[in-house]
Structure formats: structure tokens, C-alpha cells
Amino acid sequence: MNSPYSEPHPDPRPTLILMGGSVRAAAFDAVTAGYRVISLDRFGDADLRAISDHWEPLNDQTDWSNLPGDPGAPIVPTGGFAWPQEEYRAERKSASDGTTPTAIAHPAAFSDQALRISGGGPEHRDGRGLTGWASRVLYPSAARIRELQDPALLASIAAESGIGFPITRELTAANLAAIRDPENWLIKPIGRTGGADIRLLTSVMRVSGRNRSPSELARAAAESSSATSFTANTSVAEAKPNVLQRRVAGRSIGVNYFARHRAGRLEVRLLGVFAGLTYRHLPAHRWLYAGSCGPCGERWAEWPLSQMRLSDLGNRIAARFGLVGLFNVDLIRSPDGSLTLLEINPRYSASMELLTGYRSLPPTSLIDWHVAAHAERAGALRTAAADGRVGWRDRDVSLVPAGLRACKRIVYARHDHPPRDPQGWLALAEPERFRPLSVSLHDLPSAATAAGFPLLTVIVRGHAPIAEQLQVSAVIDRRLNCPKN
């Protein structure tokens, strides 16, 4: 007789597939909720691989047919990835007996309408509501994404909430010829993330010592690509339509929200406001995302009014575009306290990891909130169960303990870096020098890193002012990028 221990027991954890430019933060979040994580991203950093059951590079050669785990698992996109121009199919093989649901998706559009579920039926999994419906990509349809990127719609929603929107025009020769102050205008691609491809109009105005004509300038602006090495020269670079947008003076901020349909009624929670950091070492691409710090809204003199407007904005966005789960809104806060909407990101965003990671029991998992909200809307999760998973009873309590702040800085390589093990990076950074602040390193590279690429991420947490935390992260940046290292 065979021993009952001779065969491995099935893994009881529900499977979750995360996909994006970098999914380390989302993966750590999901693991705290007990998920078995399959990760697909561009970098494959060492700490991501350490907690993932499986990692695959995410590009136009990704083999979706051989991913391990449950073929009916939900797929959660996290952004930060330029999709190939030609659609490619994601096929998940069915089980040999043909009873397991098979999903066929077009991740180029993250479209749930492009998803087909065949075979099998609903099944109960660990009380999480992850049944057959969950083979969908937990992201808006391609048509909805186009609406979310429509400047006219964004301007209308912003105005209804008492928030501004930048003057935006099509990139045409006629519109270029009408501009008299090009230093105040940007060339902005629609639908790209991370700010890498936002450029000053003046950066493409001259060629061979002369000014381009409006028609030449229109072609150059439409064809120009990012000079940052980690977005250029890649097989997944996708041409995106560009627009002209007038610059707005002020500080970029990211506002994070969570939406759900509780008992058929839309509820939207403002999770936190974070100031954005940009990478200043590439003047022509000064809007490249380099981190976040906060939460910061409560310290504004005009916070009561801004909080009301931001809450109203989140409610209008979720209602107008049918969003559930996590989403993020990028804005500019001007010196006079006025707010200007820039874009909407219907997904887990880079600053959201600063909302979690504190000592809470049970630990908060925003990724599980996202999955639960989709399950609840689909009727696969009852209200009481969803309430427990998304902390509904504590919905008026801040996720960040009072007095604590955090700073996240993406360190970009200023020279080529050899491969190192995690202890090697810690030895260079010496995080213990900065106690009582908590300093941690993330996104640790698993191979050599070329100049211009993201090297790793530094997160500082504590009661110290944001300015002090920024200084600490800058010191570590300089240490890691010292030419001797």
C-alpha cells in the first residue's frame, strides 16, 4: 500500500497572476493574503523571484501556455508596461481531462471582452469567491480604457468636482503653428505610464541648427521616442498617439482609491494622497517616475476643501467608468492649492505599497481588496464576506498609523552595475546607519544592471518629516551610484 505521504498534497492557496512592468510590490502584498503568486514582469528581480511560485519575463515572446497553477486564476495587471503594437494571444491550457476552465486573453488590451472561458463550472476555493468567473482579467475593457484616456471626458469630470484640467490639443501642424510659447507646452503620449515619454515641445523644435517647420515638427514629435534606455530599444515599445498639453505649475500628486459595489450601492474610499518624485538627471525627460512620499494631504492648509473635492472626484470617476477595486488619479497641486487632473490609472499603482506594510493584524492586502471587489460585483462573493476582506468596519480609519510617513525612491543606475547578492546591496546601503528610521531595499536586481535602468528601490518609513526621509533615500542613492561601486 502506498503511504498517504508519498504523493504531494495539492497546494491549498488560491493562484493569482500578476503582470506589469514591475510587480514586486503587488506580489508581496498578495503573498500576505495567502495567494500563490505567478509573476510576469520585465525585470525578474531577486526578491520577486524569491516569493513567487513562478516568474516569467513579460514581453511579446511570453509563453502563456505553460504557466503553472490554476488555469482559472484571476489576472491582475499593475501597469508600467508598454504593450506590443500587434495583439498577441494569451492561452492557458486546460487540464488533460478537459474540465478545467481555459482562458484566452488579449493582454495587449487587458480586455475582459477578449477573454473566453470554456469547460468546467463554478467551484468553491478556500472561501475567497474565486470561482469560474475569476478567469477574467481584473481590468477595464479596451473600450473603457479609451474612454479613461479621452481628454474631453476627463476635463468634464474634473470640472464637475471643481478641479482643473490642462489645455490639451491634437498634435497637428496647425496647432503647433498657433503656439507662441513652446517652452510652456509638452508632448504627451496617451496611455503610457511612468512619465518616461513626456517631453518638452522645445526638445524637438530644432534640427541641424534651424527651427523645424510646423509640419516637420508635427512629424518629429509624433515619431520621437523616449531616450531612457529601459524604454527605448525594446521589443515591446508601442507607438502611442501624442497630444499637446500646456504645462501646469505645481507638484505632482497621486491619489489612491478603492471602489466596491456593496449590496448594489457604489462605495468609494479615498485611501491616501502621495507626492510624486521624478528623475532629475535626464532634463529632457524630467517627468520620469522616481518614487512617492506621504501621505501628505492632511498637512495642506486647504485640506478640508481638497479632501471634499478629491472624494467627489473619485466617486464620479468610479460611477462614470464603472470601476471597482483599486484605482489611482494623478494630479498637479499648484502653489495656491488648486488641483488639476492629469490622468486616471484603473489599477494598483506604485505609491500604494506605502499604504501597507505597517504592523496591522491581520495585515492589509490591497490586492486582495481588488480581487474581492471584482468577486462581489460578479455575485461570487457575499456582502458579509467582502466586508471582512476589505476592512469595511474600519473604512473611516487611515491605513497609515497616525504620525507615520514613508518615502519610496527608485534608484536609477548612473553607470553599469555588476551583479550582487542581496547582502552585497545591503552592505553598500548600510540601512542600519539611519535608525530609528526603517530603511529597506527592494527590487534587488538578479543580474547586471546597465546605466539608465532602474537599479533598485529604497523605502524609508518612520515619524521623521518627509524632507528628512527624502534626504536619507538620496544619501543611499549616492552611495549605490558611487563610481567605485
Distance CA(125)–CA(129), nearest Å, equals: 7
pLDDT of residue 365: 93
Higher local confidence (pLDDT), 233 or 9: 9
Distance CA(480)–CA(210), nearest Å, equals: 41
Higher local confidence (pLDDT), 284 or 212: 212
Distance CA(221)–CA(244), nearest Å, equals: 10
pLDDT of residue 146: 87
DSSP structure string for 261-274: EETTEEEEEEEEEE
pLDDT of residue 343: 93
pLDDT of residue 467: 93
DSSP structure string for 81-115: ----SS---EE-PPPTTS-S-EEEE-TTTT-GGG-
The x, y and z cell numbers of residue 22, run together, are: 514591475
Alpha-carbon distance values, 221 to 263, 280, 342 (Å): 49, 22, 20
Higher local confidence (pLDDT), 442 or 83: 442
pLDDT of residue 303: 87
3-state secondary structure of 6: coil
Distance CA(237)–CA(175), nearest Å, equals: 27
pLDDT of residue 266: 96
Mean pLDDT of 191-209: 70
Higher local confidence (pLDDT), 320 or 58: 320
Higher local confidence (pLDDT), 175 or 230: 175
How confident is the model over 240-265, as pLDDT tens digits? 568 899 999 999 999 999 999 999 89
The x, y and z cell numbers of residue 69, run together, are: 497553477
Residues 6+ apart with CB under 8 A from 233: none
Confidence of residue 352 (pLDDT cuts 50, 70, 90): very high
Confidence of residue 176 (pLDDT cuts 50, 70, 90): confident
Look up the CATH number of domain 405-480.
3.30.70
pLDDT of residue 125: 34
Is 155-163+251-355's fold the same as 405-480's?
A: no
Mean pLDDT of 142-161: 91
Higher local confidence (pLDDT), 121 or 376: 376
Range in 9-23, 263-277, 327-341, 385-399 with the lowest mean pLDDT:
9-23
Highest mean pLDDT (candidates 10-19, 48-57, 71-80, 392-401):
48-57
Q: Indicate the angle between helix axes 466-480 and 422-429, nearest 10 degrees.
A: 120
Q: Please confirm whether the linkage preceding 295 is cis (ω < 30° from 0).
A: yes
Q: How far apart are the first and last CA of the chain?
A: 60
**Which secondary-structure segment (H or E) carries 186?**
strand 185-189
Confidence of residue 60 (pLDDT cuts 50, 70, 90): low
Domain boundaries, given as residue ranges, for the chain = 15-139, 155-163+251-355, 167-246, 405-480
Tell me whether residue 350 is exposed, middle or buried, using C-beta atoms within 10 angstroms of its C-beta: 0 to 12, 13 to 18, 19 or more.
Answer: buried
Distance CA(259)–CA(383), nearest Å, equals: 14
Higher local confidence (pLDDT), 274 or 283: 274
Range in 83-92, 125-134, 273-282, 286-295 with the lowest mean pLDDT:
83-92
Alpha-carbon distance values, 180 to 210, 222, 435 (Å): 17, 20, 52
Closest CA to 481 of 407, 412, 420: 412
Instruction: Pick 155-163+251-355's CATH classification: 3.40.190.10, 3.30.470.20, 3.40.50.880, 2.60.120.280.
Output: 3.30.470.20
**Which secondary-structure segment (H or E) carries 408?**
strand 405-412
pLDDT value at 2 more than 80: no
Mean pLDDT of 400-409: 92
pLDDT of residue 284: 60
Mean pLDDT of 165-169: 94
The share of the chain scoring above pLDDT 90, in percent, equals 46
